[in-house]
Structures are given as C-alpha cells and as structure tokens.
Structure 1
C-alpha cells in the first residue's frame, strides 16, 4: 500500500561541465523525504486481515538511475533505523530502486512514520511520483533556467537570475491509480 502523506524538501545544486566542446549541466540534489502510513484498510483489499503477510513486507523507493546515489541511505521508521539495499522485488510499479524488508505491526490500524535523506546526482531531470494520498514537494536551486515538465506544474514558483524555488501539492484524486489494492 502507499503512504498517506509524503513530504519532499530539497536543494538542487547545478554544476556546469564540458564533454569535449559541449556544455553539460549536472546536478546534486540533497533531498529530505518524510511521510506517514495511517494504517491499512484490509477490508477494502478484499483480503482477510489474518491472510496479510506482515513479516514479508517491504519498504521500497523508486530511483531511476541508481548510479546517482552518493551514500548509504538509512531510513528511520517509527523508532527503528533501517538501511536501504539495492533493487526492488517486483518491477510492476517501480523498474529500479532500493528496498529493505520490514516486519510491520500486525494491527492494520497502526500508524507508521518514516524519514530519510537522499543525496542524488543526475544529469537530465529530477522527477517525483506522487505516491502519497497527499504529496508535497518543495525544491530550491541556484539554477536560473529551470524547465518544469511532467503531469503537474508547480503550484507556486519563483524564478530569478539567482535561482528558483518551486512547490507542488498533488492529491490522490489528481492521479489515476488507487492508494491501496
């Protein structure tokens, strides 16, 4: 199932480099991600709660280009720290990324809070998929010429010669896939 809320705050630092005579712009992003799972509605899944495999749960984050990861990614879930490992178990939703096994509380109504930092390098673009029931993204950068692409344009943005700030809020109702099930 997907989180009830996801908050992403980040700084993106551009770097100009040359490949031969061609200018290439690379970036380093320092992202802080946090969110919450507010319990699972097993009844909506049409699965008896006793058939849910709590001990086989996985926490997964999608990362398109794993080469851009700069350092280990510890994630805090409630009062426990875990480490992401490479890969996803299934390619149904996320083609690549990082994950780890987590034993969830057997009460479907339990709230699970999570947070982690992601230091990610890239070269073409930086995208976020709105998997939360409410997904909020706030990005700041010194890059003066951003190009906002994708299905959702920023709700607010400020662009100047010194950089930009942009924020998005996407709700479950704005996308074409369910929160769970």
Structure 2
C-alpha cells in the first residue's frame, strides 16, 4: 500500500507550502525594488541640487515692522516688543509657461523645467489704511519690505523685470522666510508713497524639478499655467477650474478667493499657526511619469504569489489528469524560475523600459520552464502545453499592470475564471483515492488519445 505522503491531499498540502515558501524570494525582490527606488530618489535629489528642487512660488507679501506694547502687571510703563506684520495683496495674477526636458543622473532620469513667470499684484490703499488703523501695534512704515517666497532659490535663474508703481526696482537676498520658504525682498517706503496703492509687476525665470506649486497670497488669485507635458497631475489644495490636455501638453487655469483658504489677509508674523496653514494652501502641478518602471515593478510583484500558485496548479493538474509524477523539488525549481522573472524584469526595465523588458523576461522564463517541463515529464507535448499556459499567465499579468484603474476588477474576474476552470477540470477526480503509480513512460501517456 502506498504511503500517506503519496496521497492527493498530501500533494496539495505540499504544493501549498511550497507556494508559501516562494513568498520569501518575492519579498526579497520587493525589497530590491524599494532599494532601487531609493537610489532613483537620490539621483533626482542630485539633479535638483544643481538645477532646483520642487518649486513653490507665491505672490509678493508686504511686511511692515511694528512695535507692540507688552502689558505687564505692576509696571507703570509697559515695555515695547519689536516685530512685524504681513499684509497680502488684493489681486494676484500669475502666468507661468513651463519649458520641460529630461535630465539624467547615471541610469536615472527626471523631468526638469524652466518656468517663465509673469506676476502682477495690487495692494489697495484702503487695505493699507484699514490695517494701519486696526492694528494694535505701531506701524513703522518707512522700513517696510515686499517679500517674494520662492521654494528653492537655487532655481531662480533670472529676474528680468521688477517694477513697483511703474518704477524699476531690484530684489535683494534675505534670511527672512515666509512659513517654510525663503524669500527675496525689496525695501519699500510706505510714507513716501503717501497712501497710494502699490502695484507690483515681476518677470522671472524659475527652474525646478518635477513639480511647481503656488501660494494663493491675495484676496483674489488667478493663475494660468501651461507646459508641453501630456501627463500632468494637478495637486494641492485646489484643482484648476479649467484645463485642457492633448498631445502637445496641458493648459490650466485656477481662480481662488481668500474665502477658500484658512488664513486671512493680515497676520502677525510670530503666529506659529501660519506655517501649517500656508503649507496646506499650496496648489499646482506635478510632472507625472506614467511609465515609471518602479511603480509597474511593484504592481507586478503584488501578483507574484498568485501567478506562482497558478503555475503550480497547472503542474498539479497534469499530475492528476494525466497521472504523471512531479517531485516537490521540481516544483521548487519551477518556483525559483518564476521568482527570477521579477529580478530580470527589474534589471532590464531600468535599461530598456518596462514593455520590452517584460516581453524579454517573460519569454525567457516561459522557454526555461517549458523546456524543463519537457525534460522532467519526458513529453514534448506536455512541455509545450505548460509553456503556453505560462505565457497566457504572463499576458494576463501584463494586462493587470497596464489597466491601472480597472486592475482590481480584471484581477477578480481572472481569479474567478481560474477557480471555475479548476473546479471543472477536477470535477470527476476521487480525492480520497491514492495517486496511482504509472507503469507507462510519461511520453506514452501523453500520446494517448
């Protein structure tokens, strides 16, 4: 009588354990993908270091120095605290035309841009008078500054024009910051303006990497942005009211009011709550790369265990339906070949792109496993059939990776179909029976009608 280890149930349990063991190399592959992603991020940081990082640009902010009384108990003459207050413009119009190109560092590339920006901001005389009267502090207007926040000053390539009320002016470097971002400043004498409104016009070129975001630093902010990039990802606190995307690139338009943000037109500069509020109000565009090889490698790895299990099931069905014998070590070798697919895919996709890499890796593994099955089963027909099944599995996997939004639906339907097919093929099997030991060579069995 045959041992219990040769029963169908024991074989099923053994195959299940082997499939679970294959999660170990799959996890190692996922770790390798993460490591390569980190290397890519490091490469992008190196590109940004010499070009300019992810940029944030705001409108000019009027910062007025103040002295504020500090009432203290028991003192007749209260001391005064020196500080500053910030006032935002009434209207801000910004037009940004981005010129995009790819920059490389080693084998890695990232989209970089130079944005030609035209900025126009107006401060109303009524606002200046209102906040001067409403403030509890004494404004020292003669030493005011206009501060322009720029996320990464390394990317500020050129300021071709700066005019205040029609008069040319010049930005100066500064250690002052607006929230998280450094600023360039221009001194302004409010007393000399005599209560007039302030009109600021700026023309500049700003270089950056991967993303350009803006700050709605006005009561009414209008932004127009365009770039020859076909896959923009609009990010941040506001989506564009209008946008158009075609083969030539995108064009987008935003219009935001002061009612759409969590801070007002005026604040005291030592207010700690302003930093997260300003950060939360940014909006703009990210130059999304839909063919990112690492994203696709991660998605392919998520289905790794499922497709290894499906391949094992195909081998098992040959055992049961054709009464062949496959040793657990042979299952293990087939699983190792399937796991190697993901390493080869990752290595090739960094060099030649994901599509060609997937095709080459899949063909290599199909030939390897199909040839091994032919040798093990000593039947060419069986090897070709198993190779065809494996090729179909990889075709389905590529469809799941390509169908970004419908991957879950397609995967669920494929899984249901596979379970149904296995139920149909095994409907007449007596699972209580032992696996009979064939006396005929596998080739003879496979050639039977």
2:152 pairs with 1:75:
no
* Aligned residue in 1 for 2:188: 102
User: Structure 1, unaligned stretches of length 5 or more?
Assistant: none
Residue 45 (structure 1) shift: 2.4
- Larger C-alpha radius of gyration, 1 or 2? 2
Matches within 5 A, 1:158-177: 158-177=244-263
* Aligned residue in 1 for 2:152: 65
Q: Which has more helix, going by share of residues? A: 2
CA separation of 1:94 and 1:20: change in aligned 2, threshold 3 A: closer
User: Structure 2, unaligned stretches of length 5 or more?
Assistant: 1-86, 268-449
How many pairs does the alignment contain? 177
Give the conservation status (yes or no) of the 8 Å contact 1:137–1:168: yes
Q: TM-score, normalised by structure 2?
A: 0.38
Matches within 5 A, 1:27-176: 27-39=113-125, 40=128, 41=130, 42-47=132-137, 51-72=138-159, 74-89=161-176, 91=177, 93=179, 95-105=181-191, 109-176=195-262
Q: Which has more strand, going by share of residues? A: 1
CA shift digits 1:155-180 (9 cap, x unpaired):
11001111000010110000011102
CA separation of 1:132 and 1:88: change in aligned 2, threshold 3 A: farther
Secondary structure in structure 2 of the residue aligned to 1:83 = coil
CA shift digits 1:128-177 (9 cap, x unpaired):
10010000000111111111000011111001111000010110000011
Give the conservation status (yes or no) of the 8 Å contact 2:149–2:178: no
CA separation of 1:94 and 1:6: change in aligned 2, threshold 3 A: farther
Residue 24 (structure 1) shift: 1.2
Residue 72 (structure 1) shift: 3.7
Residue 106 (structure 1) shift: 6.0
Residue 97 (structure 1) shift: 1.7
Higher relative contact order (CA 8 A, sep 6+): 1
Secondary structure in structure 2 of the residue aligned to 1:98 = strand
Secondary structure in structure 1 of the residue aligned to 2:239 = coil
CA separation of 1:98 and 1:133: change in aligned 2, threshold 3 A: same
CA RMSD in angstroms comes to: 1.7
* In 1: Cα distance, 2:166 partner to 2:245 partner: 39
Secondary structure in structure 2 of the residue aligned to 1:148 = strand
